[in-house]
Amino acid sequence: MSETFLVATKKGLFTVRQGREKRWTISRRQFLGDHTALVSSDPRSGWWYVCFEHGHFGPKILRSKDEGETWEEIRKPEYPPKPEGVKDVDPMRGTDIPWSVQRVWALECGTVRTPGRLWLGCIPGGLFRSDDGGDSWELVRSLWDHPDRKRWMGGGADLPGIHSIVVDPSDDKHVLVAVSCGGVWRTRDEGQSWNVSSKGLIARFLPPEQQGDEVLQDPHRMVQCDARPEVLWIQHHNGIFHSTDNARSWHEIPHAGPSTFGFGVAAHPKDGNTAWFIPAQKDEHRIPVGGRVVVTRTRDGGKTFEELRSGLPQQDAYDLVYRHAFDVDESGERLAFGSTTGSLYASNDGGDGWQCIGEHLPPVDAVRFV
Amino acid sequence: MPRVTFTANIQRHVDCPPVDVSGGTVRAVLDQVFAQNPRARSYVLDDQGALRHHMQVFVGGAQLRDRAGLSDEVPAGAEVYVMQALSGG
């Protein structure tokens, strides 16, 4: 059971620890004033990673080998030179796709069988691999050069990006990535070849004949049950989707409390039937329904949902929770999320009750148990 | 020799003292700077070697024109300033 989580915000990185009587408190504040956009940890090495968005100086990655006491900048992944004459244009906006990392949007590690293996997803749509804990990176050309990659398009972000990476706990060669907007992609050979795996997702923002196009889907976040890797959940732009056959097919869950729109989703690491969501009203109203923050939980594979509100603000609350700002620990009992309005909550009992840790933090981009 | 000076704001991320280097273009000058200080490169240039969107370079008081190719000439003895553009939040 994890007693620490990291909170990456627009204005710094915060470490939150559980103290006496199971109360969570902010124990450390670092990089104040700097935009920390993503945080990750590698349970094999114990190393922590924080990804920065320096508005002027671009994205950077820092690594800590001593649980955040000290940090070192590591090499940033870089795209290879763009060949002369290559046309690479975002189909939604008609703007050039820069062959340059705009934002690190996903950072996940392999299993104990591949020590040092990291996968990094970014805007604009590049997937990078490291086999040395981030000392060096290589663009996964097979995905970048896939003809369908040029059909990926920007959504809320102006450019397409890889925000979710799922490594099969039983097979390191089997990796799924989710792209906004580009659907779900699968490799079974460590990234040598890729196939789209979005069957069943529905993009209602497209004309009717294109809504089922597997390459034009907008999954907001994809997560997996560690103990049952064939079970996956997607919070999609147009609803909640569930797979019980390792992403070979996806099924829509039509009802889930007050709304099925949102960004964050957490999968129980042991129980394949349990997942949590934090809904917003709808795509053009990205606020909690009725100004009341709620976490929804299913324990029966999406058939029914509970609305968990104890400890969460139920009046004039306009918190939106971004896709990486909601996490569950390895026990499935502790959850934490942070919002765009700088509120931070954690639960010790699977979401039944929530503790408010802060209401005036900077906007929260990412939360991760370590 | 041209002298290259960096914005004070970059210094808390990566140490960039003023440096005298040779070179007849901004590209040649910066290549020499980053050969001595490789970590600074990605703070100023993007993956394709173009000037970052929110950075600016002045050569002898004039703003850089060729932000992608960095082909602007640098006269001997010119002052080159690597600055932030006025942006942020």
Strand order in the sheet with A239-243: A219-224, A232-236, A239-243, A251-253
pLDDT at site A39? 98
Q: In 3-state terms, chain B is what percent helix, strand and coil (to 5)?
A: 25, 25, 50
pLDDT at B87 over 80: no
Q: How far apart are CA A262 and CA A12, in angstroms?
A: 25
pLDDT at B89 over 50: no
Please provide the average confidence, as pLDDT, over all residues in chain A. 96
Q: How far apart are CA B50 and CA A100, in angstroms?
A: 10
- Which residue in chain B is spatially nearest to A77 when comparing CA positions? B47
- Which residue in chain B is spatially nearest to A35 when comparing CA positions? B89
**Which of A58, A81, A101 comes nearest B43 by C-beta?**
A58
At residue A92 the predicted structure's pLDDT band, cuts being 50, 70 and 90, is confident
Q: How far apart are CA B69 and CA A197, in angstroms?
A: 40
| More confident call, B85 vs A266 | A266
Average pLDDT for residues A236-265, to the nearest whole number? 97
Find all residues with CB under 8 Å of A290, minimum gap 6, and list them: A258
Strand, coil or helix: what is B35?
A: helix
Q: A68-73: long-range contacts (C-beta < 8 A, 24 or more apart)?
A: A68/A6, A68/A15, A68/A28, A68/A30, A71/A30, A73/B14, A73/B39
CB contact at 8 A, A235 and A220: yes
pLDDT at site B88? 55
Q: What is the value of ipTM here, to two decimals?
A: 0.90
Average pLDDT for residues A173-180, to the nearest whole number? 97
Cα dist from A111 to A2, A138, A201, A363, whole Å? 19, 19, 28, 32
Q: Chain B: which residues have CB within 8 Å of chain A?
A: 9-10, 13-14, 39, 42-44, 46-48, 50, 52, 54-55, 84-85, 87-89
Q: How far apart are CA A95 and CA A102, in angstroms?
A: 14
Q: How far apart are CA A326 and CA A318, in angstroms?
A: 16
B5-63 pLDDT per residue, tens = 999 999 999 999 999 999 999 999 999 999 999 999 999 999 999 999 999 999 999 99
Q: Are the beta carbons of A55 and B87 separated by less than 8 Å?
A: yes
pLDDT at site A251? 98
> Any CB–CB contact under 8 A between A101 and chain B?
yes
pLDDT at site B86? 76
Say how many C-beta atoms besides its own lie within 10 A of residue A145's C-beta.
11
For chain A, percent of residues with pLDDT exceeding 90:
95
pLDDT at A278 over 70: yes
Q: How far apart are CA A222 and CA A234, in angstroms?
A: 4
- Tokens coding A191: 């990234």
Least Cα distance to A32 among A49, A15, A18 occurs for A15
DSSP assignment of A325-365, as one string? SEEE-TTSS-EEEE-TTS-EEEESSTTSS-EEEESSSPPEE
- Which residue in chain B is spatially nearest to A72 when comparing CA positions? B13
